[in-house]
Amino acid sequence: MDASVKQFIELDTEHKEYLLTDDLDNLQKEKKMKENVVTEWKSKFDKNNTGKITLSEICKVQNVDIKEARKQYGTPPPELADVEIIETDMPEAMRVKVCKMIDEGMKTHEKDEAGLVNFLKKELDNTFGRLWHVVTVYGRYYTFYTYEMGYNFTFKKNERIFIVYKTPDCEELSNNQQ
């Protein structure tokens, strides 16, 4: 496995598939990494200075299959065994909870898409705070959306594609800036 991918996996203890560059500065000292690693990573894997380095970007730049890279995290929890991740920055523990909610919702809403997404949205809002969105898709889809960092999970489970994300609370943001 590519050295950058391997090191990223070791640093990403929550399996959220991203690291903030500010956190990397601290990890460099804590893990006694080479001095130039963080600078190299920022220039190589965060060219737009977003402050976020993703597993997806590292794999793209290093020409590594992301599915192979994800295997380096180890065996996924049983709740994620039938999940094919398309894109995520959500911690693994939260993804497990989302999949448990889906399994619960499928018991009562298997043939009712509207009922299923309504159930999931309410469960997510009650469990993780408001402003969640749930989309299910059969076949192709294209989407562009804004989400709160750490709360995006797009995946295929059985025959459905799920897009689960949380939008930032504008009211909360404006209160924090005052």
How confident is the prediction along the chain (178 residues), in pLDDT tens digits per residue? 899 999 999 999 999 999 998 888 888 888 778 878 888 999 999 999 999 999 999 999 999 999 999 999 999 999 999 999 999 999 999 999 999 999 999 999 988 888 999 999 999 999 999 899 999 887 666 677 778 889 999 999 888 889 999 998 777 656 766 6
Q: What is the model's pTM?
A: 0.78
| CATH code that applies to domain 78-177 | 3.30.740.10
Backbone angles phi, psi at 125, to 5 degrees: -60, -45
Quick one: which of 88, 124, 100, 73 has its CA closest to 16? 88
